[in-house]
Structure 1
């Protein structure tokens, strides 16, 4: 089948795209408004895009319905310029899903999910205490595209529990961290536990040698 985007509805494009661009890392983002109220929300339209400087990108759709009303996360980042990406691992999957619930403004997602916070190193927004790793970010820029916003955040500090760091690199012990990924919009996720496949890169000299 071929789907021409101009002939498809926004929902159809969304359903197809999120099923094909997968698995996706999940950013459980903590942000804060001007009064210090915290918000926690997961986003799977997320990844790092460069390392010098270190920049992560996150797509945040506007609220459903008419108008161009930003979600709390996008609004908080625009107004305070800071946020924290908490890495979602197997043991946080259910709590992350609770944070995705559309609670009314007066309800704390963190409280409903039974999550606690801990002070960050360089930004005012706290990280989630139960998260084994987190990226402290300052807004680099926000780009408005249609009814979505692409938030570019510069990573200014990284928190990782000692047991998940190999100091030789330093490298992340990804096999032990057990991050999870998003597969589609129907509640589909994928575990990384016992799922790693090693495919070493082939140096050009070895490639040429193997062709002889």
Structure 2
């Protein structure tokens, strides 16, 4: 089948792209309102974009209303300029899903999910205490495109539990961290436990010598 997204039905792009651009890492973002109240929400339109400076990108669509109303996460980041990306691992999958619930205003998603917070190093927004790794970010810029916002965050500090760090790098022991990924818009996810394969990069010299 072929799909012309320039002439497609509204929603086709989401349904198709989220199934093909996969697996996607999940950012469980904590942000803070101006009054100090916290919000937690997961986003899978997320990845790192560069390392010098260290920048991550996240797509946040507006609320499904007639007017352009930003979600709490985008509004909080725009007003305070700070947020934390908490890495979603297998043991946090259910809590992450609860945080995706569209609770009424004033409901704390972290409390509903049974999660607690711990102070961050450099930003006021706390990280999730149960998360094994977290990226502290300051807003670099926000671009409004259609009914979405693309938020670029500069990573100013990183928290990782000691047992998941190989100090020789330092490298992340990703095969032990067990992060999960989003596979489509229908609630499908993928585990990384026992799923790693090793494909060493081939140098040009090795390629010329017949290594494939």
Shared fold by TM > 0.5?
Answer: yes
Matches within 5 A, 1:12-161: 12-161=12-161
Distance 1:127 1:10 in 2: 36
**Deviation at residue 105 of structure 1 after TM alignment:** 1.1
For residues 112-169 of structure 1, what are the alpha-carbon distances to aligned partners after superposition, in whole Å with 9 as ceiling and x for unaligned?
0000000000000000000000000000000000000000000000000000000000
Instruction: Show structure 2 runs of 5+ residues with no match.
Output: none
How big is each residue's C-alpha offset from its partner over 1:55-96, in whole Å with a ceiling of 9 and x where there is no partner?
000000000021110000000000000000000000000000
CA distance, structure 2, for counterparts of residue 136 and residue 6 of structure 1: 37
SS class of match (2:74): helix
Task: Give the C-alpha shift of residue 10 in structure 1.
Answer: 2.3
> Normalised by the size of structure 2, how large is the TM-score?
0.99
Matches of 1:144 and 1:101, distance apart in 2: 24
Distance 2:10 2:122 in 1: 39
Distance 1:10 1:199 in 2: 39
Alpha-carbon deviations, 1:152-207, whole Å to 9, x = none? Answer: 00000000000000000000000000000000011100000000010000011010
1:175 aligns with 2:175: yes
State how many pairs are aligned: 211
Q: Does 1:165 align with 2:165?
A: yes
Measure the CA separation in 1 of the matches of 2:66 and 2:85: 29
What is the CA distance between 1:6 and its match in structure 2?
A: 1.3
Where structure 1 has 5 or more consecutive residues not aligned to the other structure, the ranges are none
User: Which residue number in structure 2 is paired with residue 2 of structure 1?
Assistant: 2
Moved over 3 A (4+): none
Task: Tell me what 1:198 maps to.
Answer: 198
Secondary structure at 1:97 match in 2 = helix
Query: What is the distance in 2 between the residues matched to 1:14 and 1:86?
Result: 24
